[in-house]
Amino acid sequence: MKAGILIMAALAAASLGAADTIKLPEPTADSGVTVTQALKARHSERAFSEKEVPLATLSGLLWAANGFNRPGMRTNATGLNKQEIRIYAVMKSGAYLYDAKENTLVKVCGEDLRSSIAAQQPYAAKAPVSLLIAADMSDPVFKGKGNTLSCYDAGIVSANIYLYCAANGLVTVCRGSMDRAALKKALNLGDNITLHLNHPIGYSAK
């Protein structure tokens, strides 16, 4: 009886772990659109439909933003190859940290934080998913004169997001506005984590 209870407890724990970690499909490598076509289509849009972004599309988007395209190296460049960028996917079901090595989303908060992403611009809360671009500034290189380095790196990630969206029928807009205090508290982020930008993402409501 005791062994049966232990097995049931282990299965319950495994089930909870599965619910808190989303295994992403392998990202699609080719959307059929050239880089030039994506650049021509790139634009900012602020009207989002309620249509959900498929998990396979979200996987490709996250890979484009901050994935690995060769052993140990990212799709986005970073100064001195510090790879300090962290991406959070903020959705109705909660907020998730993108683990590029495991190709998973790890839940870090069960709340819908899209209103904190939107702050004073309610349109942003309507997007089904927002990507929050953060940076781990714990490396000494980011102290003093190097403290702006991650700002440039976040901009590179933003450009990757724009191009993937343009190539795959999604719309987005890069934003610096957000309730940083509320987000850092909800995500349990320490002083070394800086929140740079966010991208509400979805399909056009136009």
Going from the N-terminus, what domains does the chain have, and what CATH number goes with each?
Answer: 22-202 (3.40.109.10)
Mean pLDDT value of segment 104-118: 98
Q: Give the list of residues 6+ apart from residue 22 with CB closer than 8 angstroms, or none.
A: 55, 96, 104, 105, 107
Average of per-residue pLDDT across 160-164: 98
Mean pLDDT across 167-180: 98
Contact of 87 with 65, CB cutoff 8 Å: yes
Contacts of 168 (CB under 8 A, 6+ apart): 31, 33, 57, 60, 61
pLDDT above 60 for 59: yes
pLDDT at 19: 59
Q: What is the pLDDT of residue 147?
A: 85
User: What pLDDT, on the 0 to 100 scale, is given for residue 7?
Assistant: 38
Which pLDDT does position 18 carry in this prediction? 43
Task: Categorize the per-residue pLDDT at 12 as very low, low, confident or very high, splitting at 50, 70 and 90.
Answer: very low
Side chain identity at 152, as an amino acid letter? Y
Q: Mean pLDDT throughout 6-11?
A: 37
pLDDT band at 167 (very low <50, low <70, confident <90, very high): very high
Strands 94-99 and 68-70: unpaired
